Amino acid sequence: MAGVGFVWRSLTFANPVVDLTALKSRNFALGCFFSFITGVGIFATIYLTPLFLGRVRGFSALQIGAAVFTTGVFQILAIPFYAFCAKRIDLRWLLMFGLGLFGLSMWAFTPITHDWSWRELLFPQALRGVAQQFAVPPTVTLTLGGLPPTKLKLASGLFNLMRNLGGAIGIAACGTILNDRTNLHFLCLAEHLNATNAAMVERLRAVAARGDLVFGNPAQGQAGALKDLWSLTYREAQVMAYADAFTLIGLCFAVATAMVLLMRRVGPPKSARAEAH
């Protein structure tokens, strides 16, 4: 009911809080979609990467910060290259490059294992940093550049809202994916943990023997071996769930990249940048 009332008020009042009539513009409607997808990519990866390093790798806050700061470094380094290209290349192609590169960076995350640290994360995070610089600014120009000045102020608010909404939904969706897919992968892995699995039996025997030496009790050694096996299986299930989340984000960017072809070319707006921030 609240959503219906919001749409009705926005379409019937002369000065609505959110101007939905701007969505009649193809570039603005597509730009809001790209802003939403970009919000998903930026905020969801900011959520996933530190969570992986903390839960799976057991990193401290300082170690996590040192591992993920490279994204910002590469985004800053990409600024002069974007400024150079923006004066010479159609912004639609730059936007397509940025969204496509973002999707590629998500694909680079998918081989993730429990051993990944800052070295393995460097390449996909570098791609993501460059992609953010080439995806966000052209979206602003292409989305707001074709709107009349009378609609620009309210439309820019809706445009920014879509990015924040994408971030909120992206984080919530990734949290759900991690929970559900971890349980699913754990059950799938557990199906193979039986007496016919020679590698598992040998590992249990070795861990139980070490536990027996430490505790001097075979029962405690066996219990410790089973707990170790559970922890190992759950860890791998978590890693597979993270790979699933990155894959889904990458697919979203693949769709968005193809949809850039639907946008019309516009000239640089006079005040879009000021209104968009």
d(CA 80, CA 97) in angstroms, rounded, equals 16
What is the pLDDT, as a whole number, of residue 214?
61
What is the pLDDT, as a whole number, of residue 21?
76
76, pLDDT greater than 80: yes
Report the domain count for the chain.
1
Residue 123 lies in a domain: yes
Confidence of residue 40 (pLDDT cuts 50, 70, 90): very high
d(CA 145, CA 27) in angstroms, rounded, equals 9
Residue 1 lies in a domain: no
Residue range 242-266: average pLDDT? 94
Tokens of 56: 């799976």
227, pLDDT greater than 90: no
Residue 15 lies in a domain: no
Tokens of 187: 């059950």
Residue range 109-127: average pLDDT? 94
Residue 4 lies in a domain: no
What type of residue sits at position 175? G
> Cβ contacts of residue 215 below 8 Å, gap of 6+?
221, 224
Residue 14 lies in a domain: no
Residue range 114-143: average pLDDT? 94
246, pLDDT greater than 70: yes
Residue 268 lies in a domain: yes
Residue range 108-135: average pLDDT? 94
Residue 136 lies in a domain: yes
Average pLDDT, the chain: 87
- Of residues 85 and 12, the one with the higher pLDDT is 85
What is the pLDDT, as a whole number, of residue 276?
47
Confidence of residue 2 (pLDDT cuts 50, 70, 90): confident
268, pLDDT greater than 60: no
Residue 100 lies in a domain: yes
Residue range 52-80: average pLDDT? 93
Q: What is the pLDDT of residues 148-191, one digit of tens each?
A: 887 787 788 888 889 999 999 999 999 999 999 999 999 999 88
What is the pLDDT, as a whole number, of residue 157?
83
Residue range 96-102: average pLDDT? 97
Whether 249 and 166 have beta carbons less than 8 Å apart is answered as no
- Domain range for 153 is 22-276
Report the CATH number that the domain containing residue 29 is assigned in CATH.
Answer: 1.20.1250.20
Across 24-28, 58-62, 196-200, 256-260, least confident range: 196-200
124, pLDDT greater than 80: yes
